[in-house]
Copies of this chain bind each other. A is one copy, B any other.
Amino acid sequence: MSGSILGDLFKISTWGESHGKALGVVIDGCPAGVNLTELDIQADLDRRKPGQSPFTTPRKEKDQVEILSGVFKGKTTGTPISLIIYNKNQRSKDYSALKEVYRPGHSDYTYDAKYGFRDYRGSGRASGRETAARVAGGAVARKLLASLGIGITAYTYSIGPVTIEKTNFDKDFIQKNFLYMPDRQAAQQAEEYLTGLIKGNNSSGGKIECVVDNLPAGLGDPVFDKCDALLAKAMLSIGAVKAFAIGSGFSAAEMTGHQHNDFYNYNEQGKVIKQSNNAGGTLGGISDGSQIKIQVAVKPTPSIEKTQPTINRQGENIDLNIKGRHDPIIVPRAVVVVEAMTALTLTDLLLKNMTAKLENIQKIYC
């Protein structure tokens, strides 16, 4: 019943609700010797926080992170690293009207079914705000991966009907627009689409794509802790995510063996390369050294300022119009969460893979 812990060797334990005093994460199992400061973590948090664009929640939170343990003279000590982010700008009075009602598309009903009652302020633990703790933990994982040359890049792949064009792909543009799209024209069209939706008190879904480069081959533990299986779990754990795909994804269902198989060959330097990458970077659930490519689908924000039929705790059918602050679109803020979850998953696999063969053990102990 303790669902807030992730990982086997590189473990994170997250805590905190939208309107509680603070949020945080404890990282247990980070190897000693990794350089780490608040700045490393703040960078990723700054990409996630609300109030940054016309398309996200106006709630202003600095999301200032503080390291409380596990780091000494700028290096991780191998002991648990506790990170804390204080909530400054919760406005609890917005939610008392929602105490007894079950908002469509939100987890009010299911939290009550599970726990018997819930913290109804701003979705409590179910709030997207809890992802701040994940991003903080993910930043530490990322630091470790970066020290091995492993890079993770996620971006908005589509918003509603507007999809990026691979021919316009500009990696540097990702951080330069509110929608985190790597395609200037698509970003323009998407903004227009969203502006229209906001006028109609509506919201939009979208897709996020994430690639990983330089991941060593061998990561993943068949048969249940495969690399792609753990990535799927990590992605679906992000609120509002409805689907996951790796490589060819759903299109694989309509392909034939002739079309789908990726062919290996050694290039002139003797390095193994693939002529295509329908696999998406794994085979048999184990990374093959090529680029990992995954995609997730994000549903539209459920909170919309529109009257909707629903029910309340007293057994009545009612109409509901949700006031308060909410995102017209979640996708851009979820981009760094996708990176964080990818980093956490791959770091744990990287550590676990070290014991796969006896020669590694001998390298360390002999």
Contact = CB atoms under 8 A, between A and B. Distances in A.
B1 A353 contact: yes
A252 interface: yes
Interface string A1-27: 111111111110111110011111010
Given A114-B78, A114-B217, A13 B32 contact: no
Contacts of A282: 110
A331 to B, nearest CB: 8
A315 to B, nearest CB: 6
B286 A113 contact: yes
A337 to B, nearest CB: 11
B158 A253 contact: yes
Interface stretch (A45-53, A55-63, A79-87): A79-87
B204 A256 contact: yes
Interface string A200-228: 10111111000000001111111111101
Interface stretch (A164-172, A178-186, A238-246): A238-246
A302 to B, nearest CB: 5
Given A3-B224, A233-B229, A283-B105, A297 B249 contact: yes
Nearest to A3: B221
Nearest to A356: B114
B31 A361 contact: yes
Nearest to A237: B229
Given A16-B82, A148-B361, A31 B263 contact: no
A236 interface: yes
A362 B29 CA distance: 16
Contacts of A261: 104-105, 302, 304, 308
Contacts of A15: 26, 28, 68-70, 79-82
A28 B355 CA distance: 12
Contacts of A258: 200, 202, 304, 306
27 contacts: A3-B221, A3-B223, A4-B224, A13-B26, A13-B80, A20-B69, A20-B70, A23-B69, A107-B285, A110-B218, A111-B286, A113-B217, A125-B223, A134-B223, A144-B361, A148-B366, A202-B256, A202-B257, A203-B256, A232-B244, A233-B233, A242-B249, A243-B245, A249-B297, A255-B300, A263-B309, A350-B361
Closest 6 CB pairs of A and B: A107-B284, A3-B221, A2-B29, A203-B257, A3-B225, A233-B233
